[in-house]
Structure 1
Amino acid sequence: MIDYEAEYNNRARVPEHPAIIEGWARDAAAYRESAKAEFDRPYGLAPRLHYDLFHPQTPADDARAIVVFIHGGYWQALDGKHFSHMARGLNAQGFTVCIPSYDLCPQVRIGDIVAEIRDLARYLWENYRKPVVACGHSAGGHLVAALLTTDWGAMHLPKRLAPAGMAISGLFDLLPLVGTSINTALRMDLKEAIAQSPLAMGTPYGTKLIASVGSEESAEYLRQSRVIVDIWGRGGVGTKLRIEDGANHFTVIAPLADPESSMVADLANLARLAG
């Protein structure tokens, strides 16, 4: 019997998480001070529906997409301001990075958040005429996968508006969360958990997905990434699995702030090929 409460309780698994989260906020504030950026641009009417746009000092000639970083927090915590420094690596490689916030559970449901991130992608296309390559952590990884499954053509938008993404420690099968304390704020029943699982949303043939996960994460997090790479890969998605050696659920995103990291190189390559 799998103890899903233990498998998905990342804060209990990483006792030093408060210091890591404090470090995120500190590094993010420092990067906002030095970055070439536009802050708090609205993409919807609700107070949390805004984004910061971080521009490179020198745009890359082959930067054909806007990269969006979607934060985690189990759809119920944090905001984009904690992660401004996640733009540093890609900015140094010449790419513009959008970091949004979104509404949180229990004020909304997970499906509402999925709709908000889809609205953000549409808004970016309408305003900048560039496709979106999404990168997200934890719950943000779930939102990346949901974004790739979107039928943009049905919205009279380019079919490949969101052609590629990187899901870091993503959640693609939400059923295991239903019986855990995490679901107190999410309020999912089994039907909703299935409906909001990217693995049940259909395989987005022709897109690309990199699933990245820390080697020190729980067996369930490792399973989640392996399963989507396997199933989507067999369904015509260009998939790749990255196991980040020595990384836990909180340290796994650190390479995004390093312009020379292989994670940034992989994400930049997705953005170069998106046009």
Structure 2
Amino acid sequence: MTGKSRPDLEAGYNNRAACPDHPAVMARWKADAEVARAAYPPTVLRYGPGPRETIDLFEAGPGAPVVAFIHGGYWQALDPSWFSWIAPPLLAHGISVAIPGYDLCPQVTLAAIVDQMRTATALLTERAGTPPVLVGHSAGGHLAACLLSEGRAERGVSISGVFDLRPLLHTSINTALRLDADEAVRLSPLGWTVPEGAILDCIVGGIETAEFIRQSQTMAQTWGAGGANTPFEALPDLNHFTVLDPLGDPNSELVRRIVDLALSA
């Protein structure tokens, strides 16, 4: 962990404050998602009894490989309906897309959310006969790494992930998470078993905060040294929110990379 002051850590992890354009970007997400859902109505799978324990499944066809997108929001905001727009570009390549929901902090603990994603991933694996490729943004990148560490999937892409939770203890984000020092260590996949031979692309926006760039670089270096395949890339001129823009383009390098991972699974 860095030796930064509390104000520096707050600035490093408060993405909404760091990205003044985030309301417009998020409004675009919502509008594009509504268009996508109208064109490709998802099947809603239930993996648990709670109202948020569902998966929006956009199917490309029988036997199609599956990409599971785990959304961000610091484990305390948003739901799958914001991200339906991610499905059409992958469907165009014959890839099914699953977007799982989960309960939010502080109503549940972060450990409970990790458990929910274990269950959701198990359901998708059972249905498809093979684990999905995991793509996670921000908090979703953290969850994807947890699942990869445990061997619940073998290929993933983390976009602006958080892998070491200890810096969050000193920020306003922890008001809802309610992590203590022991939990922050226990729930940080940076220190979990490195899944030797697994793939985790560590992607980050080139104009994100130094803390987010450091998180992805450190994860790539640490897991790479342990035997995982962890390429790191900073996408130029993209911030914590616009870093998802390439997912809306079926011809972007990021979409093609995810397609390649899905087809090689």
Q: TM-score, normalised by structure 1?
A: 0.91
Task: Answer yes or no: is the 8 Å Cα contact 2:206–2:238 preserved in 1.
Answer: yes
Tell me the equivalent position of 1:206.
Answer: 197
After TM superposition, what 4+ stretches of structure 1 lie above 2 angstroms from structure 2? none
Gaps of 5+ in 1: 152-160
Alignment of 1:53-64 (within 5 A): 53-56=57-60, 63=64
Q: Deviations over 1:70-124 (max 9, x none)?
A: 1000000000100001112211111000011100000111111111111011111
Task: Answer yes or no: is the 8 Å Cα contact 1:173–1:224 preserved in 2.
Answer: yes
Of 231, 251, 264, 2:255 maps to 264
Number of positions where the alignment pairs a residue of Structure 1 with one of Structure 2: 260
Structure 2 counterpart SS, 1:178 = helix
Identity %: 48
Q: Deviations over 1:38-81 (max 9, x none)?
A: 1x32111111000111123x67x8x5x31100100000000010
Tell me the equivalent position of 2:37.
Answer: 32
Gaps of 5+ in 2: none
Of 225, 237, 260, 2:228 maps to 237
- Going from structure 1 to structure 2, the CA distance change for 1:185 and 1:36 (only over 3 Å counts) comes to closer
Task: Answer yes or no: is the 8 Å Cα contact 2:150–2:193 preserved in 1.
Answer: no
Check if 1:11 corresponds to 2:16. yes
The residue identity in structure 1 corresponding to 2:115 is: A
Task: Answer yes or no: is the 8 Å Cα contact 1:214–1:246 preserved in 2.
Answer: yes
- Distance in 2 (CA, whole Å) between partners of 1:9 and 1:71 is 17
Task: Answer yes or no: is the 8 Å Cα contact 1:88–1:256 preserved in 2.
Answer: no
Of 40, 44, 50, 2:48 maps to 44
- Distance in 2 (CA, whole Å) between partners of 1:268 and 1:238 is 17
Tell me the equivalent position of 2:100.
Answer: 100
Tell me the equivalent position of 2:90.
Answer: 90
The residue identity in structure 1 corresponding to 2:90 is: L
Q: Deviations over 1:3-62 (max 9, x none)?
A: 100000100011121111111111001000111531x32111111000111123x67x8x
Q: Deviations over 1:176-235 (max 9, x none)?
A: 000110000000011000000001111111210001100010000000000111111111
Greater Cα shift, 242-251 or 265-274: 265-274
- Distance in 1 (CA, whole Å) between partners of 2:73 and 2:41 is 27
Check if 1:72 corresponds to 2:77. no
- Distance in 1 (CA, whole Å) between partners of 2:110 and 2:256 is 31
Check if 1:21 corresponds to 2:26. yes
